[in-house]
Structure 1
Amino acid sequence: MKSIIQNSLADSLSYTEYRNKVTSLLKEGKSTGNEQSEALTHYSELNETRMNRLEKTIKITEDFTEQLKQLKREYIWLVISEGWCGDAAQLVPIFHKMAELSSKIDLKIALRDDHDDLMNLFLTNGARSIPKLIILDKNTLEVLGDFGPRPQGAKQLILDYKAEHGVIDETAKTNLQLWYLHDKGLSTQQEIMEIMAALE
């Protein structure tokens, strides 16, 4: 596991590099990842707009800001993501804002399709669901915890929808984006900070 994590970190992107990569691929009419389709490019374009908006509007609560500034241990937050993923577009800007508030957190992003070995270590119910935030000890690269692919409320919304309709369709995806809009990133902050508090 450690060598997989080391290799992924060696090949990882900063948040700015990740954003730039997604943007430059869109200019070529492409999305990140092995699969290319009009749908994935369309999702990437929507996500670009979402991330631009979230970078301006996401607020980390005062309590969590204070806690992040007082972290004692040093961490790497390694995120598995892709530009076309709607959940990633909602969550990765929050991870970035939180990490920026602490000198003890180094945020790195690994593209899922470039890191099969890493993704296979962090499956969700057997699926390659993203984004996945892996919390590492900066010095030993020990995995201390993980979060994702969605906060609990968003997860429940999708489970309930699937139970009722049998599929995840465009309506479900729209409902999910509305859930994120109303939640304003608070559930994600809360769940991540619970993990961090336990580690401290």
Structure 2
Amino acid sequence: MDVTTKISLTQALSNAISYHQYLNLVKIMAIEGKSTGNDTSEAYVNYTKLNAKRMQRWDKTLRFDDEVINKIKSVYVKVNWLVLTESWCGDASPALPVMNKISELNPNITLKVVIRDEHPELMRHFLTNGAMSIPKLIQLEPETQRVLGTWGPRSTKATHLVDAFKKEHGALTAEFRESLQIWYNKDKGQSILQDLLNLLSLE
């Protein structure tokens, strides 16, 4: 890891908040008609309002089967999960609740959240195909902050859907984004879960 990455990680970790603090922030933003990040347009405010509702719903309905729960509880190596995101990010609304549920099942997995636009230097070290795509999860070794892996901004299955649509249409539309949220709901977080289990080297 180069020096600038390590400095950026250290700064981000010092400013990081818990998932529940982040969820509360999104709720407050929604009530006040605001959004996190540099773009505070009406569209982003509306996305923030949607995400506040979506994350609360995911927290209530998300279920893991016994086999998955046992796998998560069997992780004996401590890791830190640092996630870059924004209140308006549609892909974050199902992903962060899955991450949180995993971390709640095993104290060896610590989840922290930072706002992307407050940490542009860190984001530049973890681009996806050259873009500042979120959510972006960085898995770290707690003592050294060594990067053990990354995930995001979408599950492998969701990424295939997005890539296929872009190949055919050139860019994502509002209609596609809505259909992706419907797909997330039908998937019940399972594709995100499987990717994160792989990140933890469980499978």
TM-score tier by shorter-chain length is over 0.9
Q: Which amino acid aligns with 2:9?
A: I
Seen in structure 2, the aligned counterparts of structure 1 residues 2 and 61 have a Cα distance that, compared at 3 Å, is farther
Q: How far apart are 1:140 and its partner, in Å?
A: 1.3
1:14 corresponds to 2:27: no
Give CA deviations for 1:121-166 in whole Å, capped at 9, x if unaligned: 1100000000011111111111000111001111111111112222
1:94 aligned to 88, 94, 98, which one?
Answer: 98
Task: Say whether the 8 Å CA contact 1:136–1:142 is kept in structure 2.
Answer: yes
Structure 1: how far apart are the matches of 2:77 and 2:52?
A: 33
Give CA deviations for 1:1-29 in whole Å, capped at 9, x if unaligned: 22211110000111111111111122221
1:123 aligned to 95, 105, 127, which one?
Answer: 127
Structure 2: how far apart are the matches of 1:105 and 1:60?
A: 17
1:50 corresponds to 2:79: no
Task: Say whether the 8 Å CA contact 1:74–1:139 is kept in structure 2.
Answer: no
The residue number in structure 1 matching 2:114 is 110
Q: Which amino acid aligns with 1:105?
A: I
Task: Say whether the 8 Å CA contact 1:78–1:109 is kept in structure 2.
Answer: yes
The residue number in structure 1 matching 2:143 is 139
- 1:1-200 to 2 correspondence within 5 Å? 1-197=5-201
Structure 2: how far apart are the matches of 1:184 and 1:82?
A: 22
SS in 2 for 1:187: helix
Structure 1: how far apart are the matches of 2:53 and 2:22?
A: 15
Q: How far apart are 1:38 and its partner, in Å?
A: 0.5
Structure 1: how far apart are the matches of 2:165 and 2:14?
A: 39
* Residue ranges of structure 1 left out of the alignment (5+ in a row): none
| Poorly superposed stretches of 4+, deviation over 4 Å | none
Q: Using the aligned pairs only, state the percent identity.
A: 41
* TM norm structure 1: 0.96
* TM norm structure 2: 0.94
Structure 1: how far apart are the matches of 2:174 and 2:182?
A: 12
Structure 2: how far apart are the matches of 1:83 and 1:71?
A: 30
Residues paired across the two proteins, number: 199
Give CA deviations for 1:63-87 in whole Å, capped at 9, x if unaligned: 2211221211111110111110000
Q: Which amino acid aligns with 1:113?
A: D
Q: Which amino acid aligns with 1:164?
A: E
